[in-house]
Structure 1
Amino acid sequence: MKNIIQSVKGTRDFYPEQMTIRTWLYDLLRQVSESFGYQEWEAPFLESLELYAAKSSEEIVREQSYVFEDRGGKMITLRPELTPSLARMVAQKQNELVFPLRWWSFGPFWRYERPQKGRTREFFQWNVDLLGPNSPESDAENVAVLATLFKTVGLTPKEVCIMVSDRRLLDAQLNAFAVPPESRAAVSAWIDRRDKLSAEAWRANARELGLSDQQLSKVEAMLADKDLWKTSAELPRFFEAIGSLGLSDYVRFDAGVVRGFTYYTGTVFEAWEVGGDIKRAI
């Protein structure tokens, strides 16, 4: 047999049996999204690199994007995420749109990362965006959509959990720990890597960032404090709203949830597989 040209590293082929599962998931995402009043939308797979340089993280732009120069000399990227495209599209028609906007989409994205189990360079992402309201209750709605998906497919709180925190709470804590404002982005990124490094390497990184032993101890105590959310101005209202929706069992507070992008300034959350052997963000 002649040599067969392989697919590009980090991508996947979808034969009919895999496509059946993908279509089932897509239909389920549509069902859950529309049950909360969200409308489907889509953006181009190709965007100007300039858009991501302005709206996304430096790591995404410099290290993880698929970038090429088109025949007209313009720098183009395969979209690594959707938020910059969302911002562009809303800005283009901001005088025509009626807020609040409830938009959802599901499609492919690309990041030039090291392929690993459960993480490929080409991946599919469900985006659910509520634009206009700025309140703990609107944040709770966003989380509730995700929790409802888990509940609909039969996943229990013993198998999946949505970890929630707030960047404003983190910033207040770092200020109390006397972390200089110019160092907080790097310290936040360090906290975000806690589960990706060994304890020794993580603590060594703290010293490289200039944190004292006292500051390191305070950060570790903060991460262990499960009641810290009660000191937040927003999170008590958030958890009350989640409770009123009957989804409290799926949601818990975790001060270590940071999210890496600089445009995250309020409530942040991640869903984790907690019942099996993997125990990672999903």
Structure 2
Amino acid sequence: MTKLKFQPVKGTRDFYPEQMAFRNWLFGKMREVSKRFGYQEYEGPILEPLELYAAKSGEELVKKQTFVLTDRGGRKLALRPEMTPTLARMVAQKQAELPKPIRWFSIGPRFRYEQPQKGRLREFYQWDIDILGSQAPEADAEIIAIAAEFFKSLGLSPKEVKIKVNDRKLIEQKLSFIEIPKTKIQEVFRAIDKKEKMTDGEWKDWLPEIGLNKLQIKDLEGILKDKDFSRESEELTRIFSTLSDLGVSEYVEFDPNIVRGLDYYTGVVFEAQDKEGKFRAILGGGRYDNLVEIVGGPKLGGV
């Protein structure tokens, strides 16, 4: 009798007891810092209607990275590639009953149909932590401070990891100054987000393909190299002040190259990276002011 041999599906992994023990320890640190700041744990379904992500996540995520299946009723479903649209849907359903601001977190599996590589599988676990119902920049600072406190709990110092912060609205102003039309802004944001994944030559060769002329490319490079204009943003000024009051300012710095790739971000965004630049972004996030409204709820800003 021939014995069948099975391997995990490409891009997934097994967790033997030793790996499971480490995973539980790491997730425990996430839960510990979340609860210390007053956040409650929630969960949503792994399957969602594809339209939920098509609403605002971005074309690349929906068309190229999402696991899509059709159920027996002919409905297009997706294995959740991220959690924020599910959170927005859940909040929209019960927004009148929920005291504001809402402080929730979730830890669980997400799925993206990407080429598996070191540190990036098709099934992965992600910690999502969100505050909704506050427009104040101090809410953005709170989420960034939670990230810094998480690094502290792991024994990682500011010499080993930095949280880089930017304001998409400020960069949008800078792009308008160099005469990039509003209709091109999202495309340029996606180009900035891809910059680190390409060589300098490849990136410069690609920019004319999205409609930038030589002068605009030169001016864009100047904007991305300038690390001294954060005070032009009132939001960033208040955020950095609050982070100083919370005792985590050493973990944070301004970087105009951080824009994040998802289309629903509307303001301040951030990304944590190791200081030596050996790895991909450790975590990232930002402000989204319209997502709850897009999925059927009231206008309710979140971070």
Specify if TM > 0.5.
yes
CA distance in 2, matches of 1:92, 1:110: 24
Point out the more displaced range, 110-119 or 220-229.
220-229
1:208 corresponds in structure 2 to: 209
2:219 corresponds in structure 1 to: 218
1:55-70 counterparts in 2 under 5 A? 55-70=56-71
C-alpha deviation, 1:73, in angstroms: 1.6
SS of match in other structure, 2:224: helix
CA distance in 2, matches of 1:259, 1:45: 24
| Structure 1: gaps spanning 5 or more residues | none
SS of match in other structure, 1:138: helix
Deviations 1:171-209 (A, max 9, x none): 100111100111111111111111110000111111212
1:245 corresponds in structure 2 to: 246
Letter in 2 for 1:278: K
SS of match in other structure, 1:93: helix
SS of match in other structure, 1:169: helix
Per the alignment, do residues 126 and 222 of structure 1 end up closer, same or farther by CA in structure 2, a change over 3 Å counting?
A: same
> Quick check: 1:191 aligned with 2:186?
no
C-alpha deviation, 1:3, in angstroms: 4.4
Deviations 1:137-180 (A, max 9, x none): 11000000011000111001111111110110111001111001
1:278 corresponds in structure 2 to: 278
1:105-116 counterparts in 2 under 5 A? 105-116=106-117
Q: Normalising to structure 2: TM-score of the pair?
A: 0.90
Check conservation: 1:48, 1:75, Cα contact below 8 A: yes
Letter in 1 for 2:129: V
CA distance in 2, matches of 1:5, 1:97: 46
User: Percent identity at matched positions?
Assistant: 52
1:114-133 counterparts in 2 under 5 A? 114-133=115-134
Check conservation: 1:274, 1:280, Cα contact below 8 A: no
2:230 corresponds in structure 1 to: 229
SS of match in other structure, 2:141: helix
> Quick check: 1:100 aligned with 2:109?
no
2:292 corresponds in structure 1 to: none
| Structure 2: gaps spanning 5 or more residues | 283-303
2:154 corresponds in structure 1 to: 153
Letter in 1 for 2:149: T
SS of match in other structure, 1:7: coil
Q: Which portions of structure 1, spanning 4 or more consecutive aligned residues, are displaced by more than 4 angstroms?
A: none
2:300 corresponds in structure 1 to: none
Letter in 1 for 2:52: L
Check conservation: 1:52, 1:84, Cα contact below 8 A: yes
CA distance in 2, matches of 1:280, 1:80: 18
2:168 corresponds in structure 1 to: 167
Check conservation: 1:101, 1:130, Cα contact below 8 A: yes
Q: CA RMSD in A?
A: 1.2
SS of match in other structure, 2:257: coil
Check conservation: 1:222, 1:228, Cα contact below 8 A: no
Deviations 1:25-70 (A, max 9, x none): 1111111000000000011111111211223212111111111111
C-alpha deviation, 1:2, in angstroms: 3.3
Letter in 1 for 2:143: N
CA distance in 2, matches of 1:107, 1:232: 35
CA distance in 2, matches of 1:159, 1:271: 11
CA distance in 1, matches of 2:213, 2:231: 27
> Quick check: 1:263 aligned with 2:287?
no
Matched length: 281
C-alpha deviation, 1:270, in angstroms: 0.6
1:33 corresponds in structure 2 to: 34
Q: Normalising to structure 1: TM-score of the pair?
A: 0.97
CA distance in 1, matches of 2:9, 2:279: 28
